[in-house]
């Protein structure tokens, strides 16, 4: 009986587009369960459907990530990393080359939207990119990412559990696939130069709208971050509660936009690259990410005096927190080389070395801690702080409302 079923299944598999269905599974467009249901509806036996999934490297278990099609394991001479500035230790790149023979060539982007625009425009040749949480989800939906083969990334085991199944890249919802590994995490707030301003007199986003600080404020040059700060500030000002940084309410987005336009005459510059230079150079109030404040302290000498000169504030009204990730884009020159790099990054000793250079928090808070400069952890939010934290989500169609609002702010 099984023999006759095998013959029938072989003929069915030859005559139906099961390969197309498998491709849909590999791209995360349908789940394995949906594949089996459709295959059964097309006349295939459950045994054969499971066999096809196994043949393409897709496990029937929903508890582990699937494997994409076999990759070319030829080691490349170099890989190309597209990253935020000051976000990868030069020594780690040298060490990786020494360990593998693969050179890492790095170029930089300013914000997630610029990264997305570049990939959507058809840019190829990048092997590893570093999008933030919500952007990973957008890139999965738009088919811009290569699924990861987790058997080549055994060091993923050291990642803290809280970062393993994020809503933006949950293998249980992606047909079993993962498209990202977490890299660094942190918060958005602002740095205060304590020799220019008493930190006890500030502590809210609203302080960045205070006319008495005209010409003493630097803001990030970032659509989601600036509008996010304005949404938190205006919601708290107008209703006593922050608006969501993911709101799709046009009125709330317009209120935030108008607040940023009103603030513009107070702002010295919009900059997402030189925040540490601003703080080290004496700018009293600098919107920044947590690691930038520590970079500024490091640039000022890193001694006890420097540590008192810059204070990082998590605003009282609330603040965004985020996870940056490493992904392999479609069109990568070496998918294998990229996997080797991702696995290397997740070695706890390497992760500790990176965090000790970037000053951002490692996603291996336990495993990498012995190898990380203790100073990194002074910006770790407390549980009481995290109650005020918000995480950016994929906005879907509402993203255009934010882009239009940001364009009006910049052109005002």
Per-residue pLDDT tens for 163-193?
Answer: 998 999 988 888 889 999 999 999 999 999 9
| 24, 98: one domain | no
| Average pLDDT of every residue of the chain | 89
| 85, 135: one domain | yes
| 161, 86: one domain | yes
pLDDT tens profile 390-407: 999 999 999 999 999 999
- Looking at residue 6, what is its pLDDT? 41
In a domain, 380, yes or no: no
| 35, 90: one domain | no
For the entire predicted model, the pTM comes to 0.80
| 178, 259: one domain | no
Find the mean pLDDT for residues 11-20: 46
- Looking at residue 225, what is its pLDDT? 97
- Looking at residue 209, what is its pLDDT? 99
Tally of domains within the chain: 3
Q: Which domain covers residue 124, as residue numbers?
A: 78-184+323-374
| 286, 390: one domain | yes
Q: Indicate if the alpha-carbon torsion angle 262, 213, 274, 309 is positive or negative.
A: negative
Q: CA 235 to CA 74: how far, in whole Å?
A: 54
| 262, 332: one domain | no
| 205, 264: one domain | yes
Q: CA 146 to CA 325: how far, in whole Å?
A: 14
| 213, 143: one domain | no
pLDDT tens profile 199-217: 999 999 999 999 999 999 9
Contact 189, 294 (CB under 8 A): no
| 159, 288: one domain | no
Radius of gyration of the chain (CA): 24
- Nearest CA to 190 out of 213, 171, 216, 218 is that of 218
Q: Is the pLDDT of residue 87 over 90?
A: yes
| The two three-digit tokens of residue 266, written as one number | 């107070």
3-state helix, strand, coil in the chain (%, to 5): 50, 15, 35
Q: Is the pLDDT of residue 2 over 80?
A: no
| 204, 304: one domain | yes
Confidence of residue 70 (pLDDT cuts 50, 70, 90): confident
> Which CATH number goes with the domain that contains 197?
3.40.190.10
Q: CA 213 to CA 286: how far, in whole Å?
A: 11
């Amino acid at each position: 009986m099984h023999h006759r079923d095998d013959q029938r299944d072989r003929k069915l598999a030859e005559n139906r587009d099961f390969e197309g269905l498998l491709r849909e599974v590999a791209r995360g467009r349908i789940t394995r369960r949906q594949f089996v249901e459709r295959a059964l509806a097309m006349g295939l036996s459950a045994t054969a459907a499971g066999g096809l999934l196994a043949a393409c490297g897709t496990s029937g278990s929903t508890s582990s990530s699937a494997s994409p099609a076999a990759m070319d394991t030829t080691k490349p001479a170099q890989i190309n990393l597209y990253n935020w500035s000051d976000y990868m230790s030069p020594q780690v790149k040298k060490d990786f080359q020494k360990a593998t023979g693969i050179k890492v060539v790095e170029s930089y982007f300013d914000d997630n939207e610029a990264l997305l625009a570049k990939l959507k425009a058809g840019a190829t040749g990048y092997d590893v990119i570093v999008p933030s949480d919500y952007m990973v989800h957008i890139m999965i939906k738009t088919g811009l990412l290569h699924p990861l083969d987790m058997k080549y990334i055994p060091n993923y085991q050291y990642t803290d559990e809280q970062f393993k199944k994020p809503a933006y890249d949950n293998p249980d919802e992606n047909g079993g696939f993962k498209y990202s590994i977490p890299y660094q995490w942190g918060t958005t707030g602002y740095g205060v130069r304590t020799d220019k301003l008493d930190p006890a007199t500030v502590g809210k986003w609203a302080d960045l709208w205070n006319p008495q600080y005209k010409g003493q404020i630097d803001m990030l040059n970032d659509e989601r971050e600036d509008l996010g700060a304005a949404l938190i500030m205006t919601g708290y000002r107008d209703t006593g509660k922050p608006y969501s940084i993911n709101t799709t309410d046009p009125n709330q987005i317009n209120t935030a936009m108008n607040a940023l336009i009103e603030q513009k005459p107070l702002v010295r510059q919009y900059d997402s690259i030189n925040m540490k230079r601003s703080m080290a150079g004496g700018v009293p109030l600098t919107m920044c990410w947590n690691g930038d404040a520590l970079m500024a302290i490091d640039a000022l000498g890193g001694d006890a005096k420097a540590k008192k000169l810059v204070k990082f504030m998590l605003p009282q009204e609330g603040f965004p927190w985020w996870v940056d990730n490493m992904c392999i884009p479609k069109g990568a020159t070496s998918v294998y080389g990229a996997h080797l790099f991702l696995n290397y990054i997740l070695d706890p000793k390497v992760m500790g070395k990176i965090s000790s250079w970037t000053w951002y928090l490692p996603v291996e808070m336990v495993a990498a801690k012995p190898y990380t400069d203790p100073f990194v952890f002074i910006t770790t939010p407390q549980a009481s702080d995290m109650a005020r934290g918000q995480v950016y989500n994929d906005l879907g169609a509402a993203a255009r409302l934010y882009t239009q609002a940001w364009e009006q702010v910049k052109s005002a």
